[in-house]
Amino acid sequence: MTMARAFWAVAPGVGEIRAEILPAPTADHVLVKTIATGVSRGTEALVFAGRVPKSQYTAMRAPMMGGDFPFPVKYGYCAVGALVGGGRVFVLHPHQDVFHAHVSMCVPIPDSVPDHRAVLAANMETAVNIVWDAAPLVGERILAIGAGVVGLLTASLLARIPGACVTVVDTDGSRAPLAERFGCRFAAPDAAPADQELIVHTSASEAGLRLALDRSAFEGRIVEASWYGDRAPSVPLGESFHARRLRLIGSQVGAIAPPMRGRRTYGQRLAQALDLLADPAYDALLQGPTPFESLPSAMPWILAPGGLCHVITYGETACSA
């Protein structure tokens, strides 16, 4: 019998740590002792506030979450752990100190990626899928609206396209050094360049989507990667939207983007994301750490606007690169 402790959201803005007995594992499951988890601010903020629309209860279930929306719910998907037999794995699991996982859900972490940076794997997987949906071209003018973790990860990948000119746009000017760290330019919304052939929007704001429509070039592609929860943004799809033949593309990590569908499995996509995190520059996207025991009192301020990826730690780290 193995006892575990997990963080549960039990009411809007209220969380608690609950003890549970893990069921006996089957032959195809392994025991994982958690080293660190990451708080994926965008989605977890909506879950913690109880703002998941009823129509999305099924679609927004995390792979190994507990409970049901809206509350109580055990949610999260950025867990780095150590296997009892040795080795580190990334698992799409909520904030919990020890758990069983199917072997197919455990993706080995490369030696080049330290524990804390590895919690970015789920967000990097989202960024990879966005880039697959965007299908960027050599030399394109690209706008990345929203300098949160997913926006900056996506911009960092787009900046690797030969000849691409990537500008990150955000209302928070303090994000400029982060954009420049990843080889991008930075601009405030009112200074965002026009005639952009590819725009990725991750700010989850009506103003950001309106800006994307306004700054797009003729026949430009706008990849909408935001999740608005229960909000319904109003955007101008009249005016010159049709005359400029703009394309609005929805991107969501729950399905592999069409260009790679049937060519990559979910596990391979996640493994690719982990490989990309070998770059130490991504440490700039981490905040914390905060001990797991403090999560009930800390989660409200961790999820406050303006944060990046906050690391939650669980006792001593088993191994780090």
* Cβ(99)–Cβ(60) below 8 Å: no
Residues of the chain under the 50 pLDDT cut: 317-321
Three-state DSSP state, 247: strand
pLDDT score at 283: 98
Looking at domain 2-120+279-313, which CATH architecture does it have? Alpha-Beta Complex (3.90)
pLDDT score at 320: 35
DSSP 24: P
pLDDT score at 316: 53
pLDDT score at 231: 82
Domain 125-260 CATH class label:
alpha beta
pLDDT score at 317: 41
DSSP 292: G
* Structural domain boundaries in the chain: 2-120+279-313, 125-260
Query: Whole-prediction pTM value?
Result: 0.94
Domains 2-120+279-313 and 125-260 share a fold: no
Q: Which helix (H) or strand (E) holds 226?
A: none
pLDDT score at 156: 98
Count the Cβ atoms, other than its own, within 10 Å of residue 266: 17
